[in-house]
């Protein structure tokens, strides 16, 4: 089960995430149970004909993804063992009733005892699920380390408070919404917003054959007949793109699935920060697919099953032999990898290059630099003990880490040679392989992180680049202006064969004025990809279908029905409640918008996009004190939230508290290099008689935006007010020379003459 850190969640743009289109729910609040869905036959039905594949699956992590807690499935020490952490201590024991966990709060208080109902995972860790009100299953924060045979806290040093979403009793560790659709087959979440409860069902408790191959009852029940054709399961992944889609329904950072059963459709997250490093390397827990879609392996059509046996989940060959099954032998030599010759690990030694033991942090002596994965698949530790490798299959680029020290980029060389600077490794690579490096989408992404956006436009239009990189470039680019350089590039991508690019283009164009949005996006309301259709529905959610051309109305109405259904079905996610609120807000439906903003905050008190928009709504209604309190809470929770500080500063200025307003505006300006914040601070400083501070602020605004006439006008007014008329005229003359067609500057110059 993924765990969350406390990243800054201050994003003001409405984000589309995948939704789950569900059938009607059963009894709300009931515990999880088998669905009895007649489309599913169960994995055991496959054993008779597909014996070899079935036996491989039986011993796999997929088969053990979730099980009823029993002596055969529980790996942890429940022999009256104990574990203490920041909130108290846990005792784990078993008796005739089953497996139990007892929590004793720090500082006293009533003990809490939880029957362990299910095991969750196999290795390198196993978690345990317990029941909570409303049909919920929650993962205990203490898990069993199967590598070191010990209990540990999967959240490490986070120490979440009980009110935080990432506390184990809350949504961040809720099985129904965060984990179930990847650890069970044919899952129906069945969330009921009216009662804030679940009636979750599964076709099979673990990851069975039909998770990948689709519902197979018709296939299993087929009877041989001379004139009949054997019906196949509804999902048959074969090619690289098909396998990536099938595996990616779980092995990806994404929203919930759009539908269950066959042909999975979902919205994959872009490779932007903070989930990824600015060059596309893994950072947060991203589950492989986003990395693989960046790779040459994917673009060359190499499927997942080339390396991974799909039924056992094991690598097909150990160590470098796996890579050598496709790549030339000379790569497996010191002439290429520049380290000692590679040898297979001893049979007496754990092989840290495959399976769950791929954790070189536990086995540092085995990191010899002669493994292909050491250089081309560096990794990171997640959930305390789970080492996962980056599937970009990229060439080490310490030169990029050296060129952008402010971004703190990892690189495969410095990962081992931690006593050396990236520049040292970059010099070695130049000596060995020459000065030229092959072009890679990491370079324009890094240029954008450094403030140069023209490289993003080139990446968007580069048909040879990975679609996920191009989609990310659309997300990172500044808002498109009609008639500008970016807008025609985005319009071209609306016709792309890649759903990733079409969806990204829809989202990037969704800020345009109503007429332009209708004209450009309505034709995609019937797109074959559900992710694109829902993005169109979101982008046009403030537009009545009667405003559209007749030929698009039916598809748009159908897309809107699906969109509203996915918002409701997934309203246990703060981001989806927030999106529903944004849609109401755009339509002028202020009370429903306020209700959904508050509901998002009830799910996650730190989901500050909802708090910011709710503050804006209160301000819109003239409720300035309520808005002030909301802005202040954002600043308290996220001291670097420059946009909230700017808004709070403006509001404090309106309320007459100039000193506090100036403090917030100058801090916002320092955090974001915002010329508008410097300018507004300067106005208040000038009114307060702080002429020297006001002059500094005006000049900082002008330095950041020299073409903005208002900033020069403000400085000139201050200089004139300070009896520095000659300096004011000189400033005006300099500004006019930079912007000869600024009428306001010329008129002011004339008046001063």
Phi, psi of 79 (to 5 degrees): -95, 60
Assign 3-class secondary structure to 422-491: HHHHHHHHHHHHCCCCCCCCHHHHHHHHCCCCHHHHHHHCCCCCCHHHHHHHHHHCCCCCCCCCHHHHHH
DSSP 707-720: T-HHHHHHHHHHHH
124 contact partners, CB below 8 Å, separation of at least 6: 145, 146, 147, 356, 357, 359, 385, 386, 387
Q: How far apart are CA 134 and CA 156, in angstroms?
A: 28
Strand bridging mode 379-382 / 386-389: antiparallel
Q: Taking Cα atoms as reference points, which of 283, 554, 538, 492 lies closest to residue 407? A: 283
Whether 137 contacts 175, CB under 8 Å:
yes
Q: How far apart are the first and last CA of the chain?
A: 72
How far, in Å, are 43, 54, 190, 401 from residue 179 at the CA level?
21, 24, 14, 35
Q: How far apart are CA 369 and CA 4, in angstroms?
A: 31
User: Which pLDDT belongs to residue 646?
Assistant: 98
Phi, psi of 201 (to 5 degrees): -135, 155
Whether 118 contacts 135, CB under 8 Å:
no
Task: Compute the residue count for the chain.
Answer: 753
User: Which pLDDT belongs to residue 22?
Assistant: 32
* 374-402 residues labelled b (16+ CB within 10 A) or e (exposed): bbbbbbbebbebbbbbbbbbbebbbbbbb
Q: How far apart are CA 489 and CA 461, in angstroms?
A: 7
DSSP class of residue 330 equals G
DSSP class of residue 341 equals P
Both tokens of 330, joined, read: 């000379």
Q: How far apart are CA 592 and CA 614, in angstroms?
A: 11
Strand bridging mode 79-85 / 88-95: antiparallel
Q: How far apart are CA 606 and CA 593, in angstroms?
A: 18
pLDDT tens figures, 93-133:
999 999 999 999 998 889 999 999 999 999 999 999 999 99
Assign 3-class secondary structure to 522-574: HHHCCCCCHHHHHHHHHHCCCCCHHHCCHHHHHHHHHHHHHHHHHHHHCCCCH
Q: Taking Cα atoms as reference points, which of 582, 558, 580, 551 lies closest to residue 567? A: 580
Residue linked to tokens 């599937």: 391
User: Which pLDDT belongs to residue 596?
Assistant: 98
pLDDT tens figures, 628-639:
999 999 999 999
How far, in Å, are 76, 78, 135, 565 from residue 130 at the CA level?
15, 15, 11, 29
User: Which pLDDT belongs to residue 13?
Assistant: 31
Whether 282 contacts 291, CB under 8 Å:
yes
User: Which pLDDT belongs to residue 258?
Assistant: 78
User: Which pLDDT belongs to residue 1?
Assistant: 53
Whether 93 contacts 78, CB under 8 Å:
yes
pLDDT tens figures, 49-92:
999 999 999 999 999 999 999 999 999 999 999 999 999 999 99
Strand bridging mode 201-202 / 33-34: parallel
Whether 29 contacts 199, CB under 8 Å:
yes
Both tokens of 381, joined, read: 């530790």
Q: How far apart are CA 384 and CA 144, in angstroms?
A: 11
User: Which pLDDT belongs to residue 96?
Assistant: 94
DSSP class of residue 346 equals P
User: Which pLDDT belongs to residue 252?
Assistant: 95
Q: Taking Cα atoms as reference points, which of 441, 443, 402 lies closest to residue 425? A: 402
Positions in the chain short of pLDDT 70: 1-26, 223-230, 232, 234-241, 259-264, 343-367
Phi, psi of 628 (to 5 degrees): -60, -45
Q: How far apart are CA 268 and CA 255, in angstroms?
A: 7
């Amino acid at each position: 089960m993924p765990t969350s850190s406390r990243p800054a969640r201050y994003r003001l743009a409405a984000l589309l995430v995948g939704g789950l289109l569900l059938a009607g729910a059963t009894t709300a609040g009931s515990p999880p149970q088998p669905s009895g869905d007649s489309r599913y036959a169960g994995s055991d039905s496959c054993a008779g004909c597909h014996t070899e594949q079935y036996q491989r699956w039986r011993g796999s992590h997929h088969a053990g993804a979730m099980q009823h807690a029993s002596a055969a499935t529980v790996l942890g020490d429940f022999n009256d063992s104990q574990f203490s952490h920041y909130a108290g201590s846990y005792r784990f024991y078993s008796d005739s009733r089953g497996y139990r966990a007892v929590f004793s709060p720090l500082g006293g208080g009533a003990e809490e005892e939880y029957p362990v109902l299910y095991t969750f995972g196999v290795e390198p860790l196993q978690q345990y699920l317990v029941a909570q009100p409303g049909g919920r299953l929650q993962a205990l924060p203490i898990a069993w380390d199967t590598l070191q045979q010990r209990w540990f806290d999967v959240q490490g040093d986070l120490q979440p408070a009980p009110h935080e979403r990432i506390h184990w009793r809350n949504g961040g560790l809720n099985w129904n919404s965060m984990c179930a659709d990847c650890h069970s087959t044919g899952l129906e979440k069945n969330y009921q917003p009216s009662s804030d409860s679940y009636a979750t069902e599964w076709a099979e408790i673990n990851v069975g054959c039909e998770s990948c191959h689709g519902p197979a009852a018709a296939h299993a029940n087929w009877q041989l007949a001379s004139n009949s054709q054997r019906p196949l399961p509804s999902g048959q992944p074969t090619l690289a793109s098909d396998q990536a889609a099938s595996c990616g329904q779980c092995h990806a950072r994404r929203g919930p699935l759009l539908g269950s059963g066959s042909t999975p459709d979902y919205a994959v997250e872009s490779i932007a920060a903070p989930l990824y490093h600015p060059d596309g390397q893994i950072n947060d827990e991203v589950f492989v697919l986003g990395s693989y879609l960046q790779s040459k392996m994917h673009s060359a059509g190499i499927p997942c099953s080339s390396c991974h046996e799909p039924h056992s989940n094991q690598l097909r060959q150990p160590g470098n032999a796996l890579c050598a099954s496709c790549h030339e032998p000379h790569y497996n030599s010191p002439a290429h990898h520049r380290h000692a010759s590679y040898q297979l690990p001893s049979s007496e030694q754990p092989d840290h290059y495959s399976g769950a033991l791929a954790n070189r942090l536990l086995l540092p002596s085995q990191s010899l630099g002669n493994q292909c994965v050491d250089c081309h698949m560096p990794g990171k530790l997640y959930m305390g003990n789970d080492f996962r490798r980056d599937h970009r299959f990229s060439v080490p680029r310490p030169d990029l880490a050296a060129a952008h020290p402010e971004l703190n980029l990892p690189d495969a060389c410095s990962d081992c040679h931690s006593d050396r600077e990236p520049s040292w490794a970059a010099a070695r690579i130049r000596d060995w392989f020459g000065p030229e490096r092959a072009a890679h989408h990491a370079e324009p992404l890094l240029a954008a992180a450094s403030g140069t956006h023209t490289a993003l436009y080139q990446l968007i239009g580069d048909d040879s680049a990975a679609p996920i990189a191009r989609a990310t470039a659309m997300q990172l680019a500044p808002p498109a202006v009609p008639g500008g350089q970016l807008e025609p590039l985005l319009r071209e991508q609306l016709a792309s064969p890649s759903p990733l690019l079409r969806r990204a283009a829809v989202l990037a164009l969704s800020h345009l004025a109503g007429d332009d949005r209708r004209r450009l996006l309505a034709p995609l309301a019937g797109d074959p990809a559900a992710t694109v259709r829902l993005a169109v529905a979101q982008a046009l959610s403030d537009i009545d279908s009667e405003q559209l051309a007749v030929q698009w109305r039916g598809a748009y109405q159908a897309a809107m029905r699906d969109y509203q259904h996915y918002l409701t079905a997934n309203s246990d996610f703060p981001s989806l409640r927030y999106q529903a609120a944004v849609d109401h807000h755009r339509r002028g439906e202020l009370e429903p918008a306020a209700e959904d903003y508050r509901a998002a905050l009830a799910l996650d008190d730190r989901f500050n996009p909802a708090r910011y928009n709710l503050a804006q709504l209160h301000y819109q209604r003239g409720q300035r004190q309520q808005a002030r309190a909301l802005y202040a809470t954002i600043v308290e929770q996220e001291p670097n939230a420059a946009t909230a500080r700017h808004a709070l500063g403006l509001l404090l200025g309106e309320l007459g508290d100039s000193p506090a307003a100036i403090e917030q505006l100058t801090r916002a300006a320092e955090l974001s290099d915002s010329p508008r914040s410097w300018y507004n601070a300067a106005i208040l400083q000038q009114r307060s008689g702080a002429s020297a501070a006001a002059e500094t602020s005006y000049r900082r605004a002008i330095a950041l935006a020299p073409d903005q006439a208002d900033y020069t006008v403000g400085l000139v007014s201050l200089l004139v007010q300070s009896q520095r008329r000659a300096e004011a005229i000189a400033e005006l003359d300099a500004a006019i020379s930079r912007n000869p067609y600024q009428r306001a500057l010329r008129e002011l110059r004339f008046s001063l003459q």
